[in-house]
Amino acid sequence: MSIPLLIGFIGNLIWLVIPFRQVRTSFFFFFLIYGISSAIMLIDSFILIHPAYIYLGQGFFLIVSLYDLGKIPNYKFFLPGVLLTSIILPLVISVGIITIILILQHVIIFFIILKRIIVYSNENDKLNLFHFVLLMFEISAIMRFVVVAGSIKTGIIFFYLTAAFSILIGVFFLYYNVENSPKFSMAGKDIVDTD
């Protein structure tokens, strides 16, 4: 097995387990989407579908997972619409356009998480390490797709480096969730608080 395949395989295994560690947290569905995508990617290593097609649907569902579905009117019709779009869109657009959509999706995810950080910090007067690791993960995803979209010669190397980085971040998420992650006081009273 080559090193890139090994990195992808280990990463998919780790991200497959993470949702079980995030049960009953506000990010459970977010990690569940990553877990389902990892399972699909493991199966895909035998079917050989272009990963961009899987990432496209994943991006749509990741965005949806960060919202309270109860607040979305007619969400029972909305989710099948997202699924249908995820299946049909790759059939009618090129991988290059999909890559640009992936960048936009992850930029949106980045800003949704950033908004959550701001709200959490205002309400609790603390910074949660979990949020910042999640932001770093999204930045690496954005950079991964930017390099692929730019057809930079070192793009594939950078892609696998960021995939290796996501393994390290995945290990963090195996041990910490949004509730038990270290928190840093903004008032300067407590340096670290693990609640």
pLDDT in tens, 160-182: 787 788 899 999 999 998 888 88
Comparing CA positions, the residue from 140, 91, 135 lying closest to residue 114 is: 135
pLDDT band with cut points at 50, 70 and 90 for residue 76: confident
In a domain, 93, yes or no: yes
In a domain, 116, yes or no: yes
Would the pLDDT of 125 be above 60? yes
Q: Is the dihedral of CA 187, 189, 192, 193 positive or negative?
A: negative
The predicted pLDDT at position 86 comes to: 83
What's the number of domains the chain is made of? 1
Comparing CA positions, the residue from 129, 131, 115 lying closest to residue 184 is: 129
Contacts 24+ apart (CB under 8 A), 174-179: 174/14, 174/17, 174/18, 174/21, 175/21, 176/129, 176/130, 176/133, 177/21, 177/22, 177/25, 177/27, 177/130, 178/22, 178/25, 178/26, 178/27, 178/128, 178/130, 178/131, 179/25
In a domain, 104, yes or no: yes
The predicted pLDDT at position 144 comes to: 81
In a domain, 190, yes or no: no
Tell me how far CA of residue 158 lies from CA of 53, 74, 170, in angstroms. 20, 41, 18
Rg (CA), the chain: 17
In a domain, 59, yes or no: yes
Q: What is the mean pLDDT of residues 100-120?
A: 94
The predicted pLDDT at position 45 comes to: 65
In a domain, 192, yes or no: no
Q: What is the mean pLDDT of residues 58-78?
A: 80
**Entry field: residues in the chain:** 195
Percent of the chain scored above 70 by pLDDT?
A: 88
pLDDT band with cut points at 50, 70 and 90 for residue 155: low
Pairing of strands 183-185, 126-128: antiparallel
User: What integer best gives the mean pLDDT of the chain?
Assistant: 84
In a domain, 191, yes or no: no
pLDDT band with cut points at 50, 70 and 90 for residue 193: low
Domain that holds residue 97: 3-185
The predicted pLDDT at position 115 comes to: 95
For the stretch 15-65, pLDDT in tens is 999 999 999 898 999 999 999 988 888 887 666 676 777 888 888 889 988
In a domain, 98, yes or no: yes
pLDDT band with cut points at 50, 70 and 90 for residue 187: low
Q: Is 50 helix (H, G, I), strand (E, B) or coil?
A: coil
The predicted pLDDT at position 123 comes to: 92
pLDDT band with cut points at 50, 70 and 90 for residue 188: low
The predicted pLDDT at position 2 comes to: 78
